[in-house]
Amino acid sequence: MLITCLRHATAEPHADPMADAERALVKKGKDQVVRVAEFCRKHALLPAMLYCSPLRRAQQTAKLLHTHLPDCPAIEVVDWLSLGADPHAIIAELKILAAAGVNDVWLVGHEPAMSGLVARLIDADDDSILIKKASLTRVQADFSNSAAGQLLWSIPCALMSVK
């Protein structure tokens, strides 16, 4: 299975009394997602399935990707990508999808779950992976055996050239 992780783009800072779940993308974050979409279009990167956390900033990230990337599939909001998600629980959901024949998923979520997920998939220490905001990271995982997955690439938004 190809698993592409997209951490949500830059959002409003933590502030009371705003609930964390309601934090929205700021202009920089919106621009980041447009850049990601342009990069994906330029390099023929297209999700087969697009799963997203229910939090506002993740949904906005997924929606902007969907809007600016032609033929991007509809977004499926799933609780298993919520803030504080357990990477083991995410892997359990990915195994269910793989068993159903799904072989290419994109996940829009949060830290530290995104980095933790990638670390577990490639059998690395949790602190050895750091996924920046609006960055794409792709892993190839084979859930039919116990071998570690392979980190194929990780590209921070700041390095995504769209010229």
Q: State yes or no: pLDDT of 16 exceeds 70.
A: no
Residue 18 belongs to a domain: no
Residue 114 belongs to a domain: yes
Residue 153 belongs to a domain: no
Give pTM, 2 decimals: 0.95
Residue 15 belongs to a domain: no
Residue 75 belongs to a domain: yes
Residue 158 belongs to a domain: no
- What DSSP assignment string belongs to the chain? -EEEEEE---BPPP-SSS-GGG--B-HHHHHHHHHHHHHHHHTT---SEEEE-SSHHHHHHHHHHHHHSTTPPPEEE-GGGSTT--HHHHHHHHHHHHHTT--EEEEEE-TTHHHHHHHHHTT--GGG--PPTT-EEEEE--TTSS---EEEEEE-GGG----
Residue 160 belongs to a domain: no
**Contact (CB, 8 A) for 33 and 160:** no
Q: What is the mean pLDDT of the chain?
A: 95
pLDDT recorded at residue 139: 98
pLDDT digits (tens, 9 = 90+) for 45-94: 999 999 999 999 999 999 999 999 999 999 999 999 999 999 999 999 99
| Number of domains making up the chain | 1
pLDDT digits (tens, 9 = 90+) for 85-122: 999 999 999 999 999 999 999 999 999 999 999 999 99
pLDDT band at 20 (very low <50, low <70, confident <90, very high): confident
Q: What are phi and psi of 102, to 5 degrees?
A: -75, 130
Give the CATH number, domain containing residue 36: 3.40.50.1240
User: In which domain, by residue range, is 106 found?
Assistant: 2-8+23-145
